[in-house]
Amino acid sequence: MNNSLYIVWSDDLNLGINIIDEQHRGLVSLINSFYYHIQMGASMVTMQSTLKTIEDYAKIHFATEEAVMAGLGFEGLDAHRISHDNLLLKTQQLLSSVKTDQDVYGVMPFLRRWWMDHIVKEDREFVDLIGNMSSDVFVENYKQQMQVMAQAEIQANEQSALH
Ligand SMILES: [Fe+2]
Ligand SMILES: [Fe+2]
Distance 65 CA to ligand 2 centre (A): 6
Task: Summarize the chain as % helix, strand, coil (round to 5).
Answer: 80, 0, 20
**Residue 98 contacts residue 109 (beta carbons within 8 Å):** no
Q: What is the mean pLDDT of residues 55-78?
A: 91
User: What is the domain-level CATH number for residue 71?
Assistant: 1.20.120.50
In a domain, 141, yes or no: no
Distance CA 152, CA 159 (A): 10
In a domain, 52, yes or no: yes
Amino acid at 121: K
102 or 35: which carries more pLDDT confidence?
A: 35
Distance CA 101, CA 119 (A): 28
Distance 107 CA to ligand 1 centre (A): 19
**Residue 112 contacts residue 6 (beta carbons within 8 Å):** yes
Distance 132 CA to ligand 1 centre (A): 19
In a domain, 68, yes or no: yes
Q: Is the pLDDT of residue 32 over 70?
A: yes
Distance 142 CA to ligand 1 centre (A): 18
| Per-residue pLDDT tens over the stretch 77-108 | 999 999 999 999 988 888 888 888 788 888 88
Distance 47 CA to ligand 2 centre (A): 25
Least Cα distance to 110 among 86, 78, 127, 126 occurs for 86
Q: Is the pLDDT of residue 135 over 60?
A: no
Least Cα distance to 98 among 107, 108, 109, 86 occurs for 107
145 or 113: which carries more pLDDT confidence?
A: 113
The pLDDT of residue 1: 60
Task: Please state the domain count of the chain.
Answer: 1
Q: What is the mean pLDDT of residues 110-139?
A: 76
In a domain, 149, yes or no: no
In a domain, 10, yes or no: no
63 or 111: which carries more pLDDT confidence?
A: 63
CA atoms within 13 A on the CB side of 142: 10
Distance CA 135, CA 71 (A): 15
Structural domain boundaries enclosing 69: 15-132
Distance 43 CA to ligand 2 centre (A): 31
Distance 65 CA to ligand 1 centre (A): 6
The pLDDT of residue 141: 63
The pLDDT of residue 119: 81
Q: What is the mean pLDDT of residues 119-145?
A: 70
In a domain, 155, yes or no: no
In a domain, 22, yes or no: yes
Q: Is the pLDDT of residue 152 over 80?
A: no
What's the pLDDT band for 26 if we cut at 50, 70, 90?
very high
**Residue 141 contacts residue 149 (beta carbons within 8 Å):** no
The pLDDT of residue 30: 93
Least Cα distance to 84 among 120, 123, 37, 51 occurs for 123
